[in-house]
Amino acid sequence: MKRANDPIFWSMFGAGGMLSALLGPVLIFITGIAVPFGFILPKSTLSYAHALAFAQNPIGKLFLFVVILLFLFHSMHRLLHSLHDFAIHSPKEKPIFYGLAGYGTLLGLISLLSIGF
């Protein structure tokens, strides 16, 4: 019998759902509302130098990677299953949805590695 790969995707769905529930709102507030408009947090919080230092720090780098990985796989897994609610079934659904999440994660990984340590 073919080994099921579902548990990996389901656990990333769960972990990503939890992470986005806990951090999604505050991340959006910081990067999209507070910092760009200097509201509560100064605009310099995410200056090039600060952002670079954060992405070069191993913990900061790991954080960015995990957020991108889990947000992408959580959302793609959930949207994939929503297809079935719209009575859409296709043998290509898994390669497309998980492929998109994987492609985004890979782009993030390459970018983060090229930023260096």
Partner 1 sequence: MSGRFKPAVKTYTRPVTGTWWKENPFFLVYMAREATALFVFIYALVLLSGVISLALGQSTYEAWQALLTTKTSLVFHLVLLGLLAYHTYTWFKVMPKTTPQIDVAPQTIVKTGVLFTAGLSVVIVAVLFGVTR
Binding site for partner 1 (CB under 8 A): 1-2, 4, 6, 16-18, 20-34, 36-37, 40-42, 44-46, 48, 50-52, 55, 64, 67-68, 71-72, 74-79, 81-82, 85-88, 104, 107-108, 110-112, 114-115
Least distance CB 84 / partner 1 (angstroms): 8
Neighbours of 33 (CB within 10 A): 12
Task: CB nearer to partner 1: give 81 or 99.
Answer: 81
Structure tokens at 72: 């992408």
Residue 33 CB partners (closer than 8 Å, separation 6+):
39
The Cα–Cα gap between 36 and 117 comes to 26
Least distance CB 26 / partner 1 (angstroms): 4
Least distance CB 92 / partner 1 (angstroms): 16
Contact 105, 69 (CB under 8 A): yes
Task: CB nearer to partner 1: give 50 or 96.
Answer: 50
Neighbours of 73 (CB within 10 A): 24
